[in-house]
Structure 1
Amino acid sequence: MLQKYGAGPDQIDGMNTDRLREAFMVEGMFTPGRIGFAYTHFDRMIVGGAVPTDSVLGFGDGADVGTETFFEAREMGVANLGGAGWIEVDGARYALANRDVLYIGRGSGAVTMGSDDPAAPAWFYMNSVPAGADIPTRLIPRAEAKVLEMGAAEKSNMRSLAMYIHPEVAPSCLLLMGITDPARGSIWNTMPPHLHERRMEAYCYFQMAPEDRVMHFMGRPDNTRHLVVQSGDIVMSPAWSIHMGAGTGPYGFVWGMTGENQAYTDVDPVQISELR
């Protein structure tokens, strides 16, 4: 369990590239045959990755979160970004195809994960946040996600936004989770940029060619910075920061949020002309 303490807006002026990446990025979570987590101090969200190959991977102990079991006071969303696989929770096995999401409720026991084909393994991306309600574990197939079409071709920001863990699709206590895909020929995501002071957000970029990168912009609107990310990199976006990105090639990203509410529209838009 890595620890990520982040930083405040008054600290980024003194950060070089390496320090900025250390504070706001999680790298190397998708290693074949391994499972890993990072405990962030952005609303105590845990992000993680698991790529089961020849052996089953699992977790459930709560030592790193200060409880007897991992899910004693937490919920989780797991998105499969790779080949077909499965997740077993409390003796129930759920088959996850590419772009399926599993919600795991508070009070669950040990979790095990496997791939149908070790040569084409599942990539399980995890977001876990504190929870104050018991909501049953539920599989949300890709076909059941609520998809919104957003943006405009002339602005190079057409995109589809699929809501998975969301009050309109599958309820949770405080976690929101979904997947966004820019349209062919569009490079920009999350336009216009915005702040949501009552929630933090994590972006996991994926489905990128090895030579491509996304330029992820962050910071206060009048004091921005950028992070260069590759496929599998995770960016933590605190409540005080904008979040938007532009890619050099096709990509998608998983967004996960938590905070005071689940109101997706509780945002403060920022005009492009106001950015510096």
Structure 2
Amino acid sequence: MTMKVLYGAGPDDIKTFDTARLRKEFLVEDLFRPGEVSFTYTHVDRLILGGAVPGLTALTFGSGEEIGTPYLLSAREMGIANLGGTGTITVDGQNFELENRDILYIGRGAQKISVASHSAETPARFYMNSVPAGADIPHRLIKRAESKPLDLGEAKRSNKRNLRMYIHPQVAPSCLLLMGITDLAEGSVWNTMPPHLHERRMEAYCYFDLAPEERVIHLMGRPDETRHLLVKDLDAVLSPAWSIHMGAGTDAYAFVWGMTGENQEYNDVAPVALSELR
């Protein structure tokens, strides 16, 4: 298991960032390495991003040595989305089978977590979000069919998309973590359009199902001083509470969104008019 640390930056800082510095602070690459478990710890609301691509032999993690606690989840909760082939997650001896686009919620206090794929040819790709938690909530597997779908956007504006809530008070409760998956409709390219801010929550995106040669142009920054990142398949982007987040892809794609902060009110946002963007 490896863990990288990012310290984040404020809106005034990024005025001086070149492309390399912006990518270093807000883009998380190489989370999904075959046969490894990789984590990135960010001081942006102390979110941990993780990726694991196991083979038939399980990969095991759970130690809290890197973060100064007995176990990784001694004071944290976690959501794990499967973005690959069918796999199994074992939490302290309890087995959960995840198919593509299923999400497992793991409550505070879990000690030993193992992940394995059912097929070496089509391995599972487990994407993880973990945040501090102040309550003990039972583990729960949320199948794709159990998630809550919302149809958003319009075809004429190229932003038609299907958003599915998984870890959410209306589907599966947590302490502070929210997590779901959004798919763009055929012919649409824009996500989270028009953009917004949510000062009381940060967010992370993990883009997936993007062809190797294609890219998403992810826009971030304050509304009056935007910046952009060119993002490939299975890259993750950190979006602090002070930043907008929206993007346009050169081809079909999807993304996992995860949030944490002061509340779990999904609609607690401040819309930003396109005319305000600079």
**In the alignment, which of 92, 95, 102 is matched to residue 93 of structure 1?**
95
Equivalent in the alignment of 1:235: 237
Secondary structure at 1:243's aligned position in 2? strand
Cα shift readout 1:28-66 (whole Å, capped 9, x = no counterpart) = 001111110000011000001000014211111111121
Q: CA deviation at 1:151?
A: 0.1
Give runs of ≥4 in structure 1 deviating > 2 Å: none
Equivalent in the alignment of 1:217: 219
Q: Distance in 1 between matches of 2:30 and 2:73?
A: 24
**In the alignment, which of 168, 171, 181 is matched to residue 169 of structure 1?**
171
Q: Contact 1:160 / 1:182 at 8 angstroms: preserved in 2? A: yes
Q: Distance in 1 between matches of 2:263 and 2:94?
A: 30
Cα shift readout 1:144-202 (whole Å, capped 9, x = no counterpart) = 00000000011000000000000000000000000001100000000110000000000
Structure 1 gap ranges (5+): none
Q: How many residues align?
A: 276
Q: Distance in 1 between matches of 2:156 and 2:265?
A: 29
Secondary structure at 2:122's aligned position in 1? coil
Q: Distance in 2 between matches of 1:54 and 1:153?
A: 42
TM-score (norm 2): 0.99
Q: Distance in 1 between matches of 2:172 and 2:154?
A: 28
Q: Contact 2:56 / 2:118 at 8 angstroms: preserved in 1? A: no
Q: Contact 1:33 / 1:54 at 8 angstroms: preserved in 2? A: no
- Please, what is the CA RMSD of the aligned residues? 0.5
**In the alignment, which of 53, 56, 62 is matched to residue 58 of structure 2?**
56
Q: CA deviation at 1:134?
A: 0.1
Q: Contact 1:131 / 1:174 at 8 angstroms: preserved in 2? A: yes
Equivalent in the alignment of 1:250: 252
Equivalent in the alignment of 1:178: 180
Q: Contact 2:32 / 2:234 at 8 angstroms: preserved in 1? A: yes
Q: Report % sequence identity.
A: 66
Secondary structure at 2:25's aligned position in 1? helix
Q: Contact 1:195 / 1:241 at 8 angstroms: preserved in 2? A: yes
Using the TM superposition, name which of 112-121 and 51-60 deviates more: 51-60
TM-score (norm 1): 0.99
1:192 lines up with 2:194 in the alignment: yes
Give matches, 1:120-159, under 5 Å. 120-159=122-161
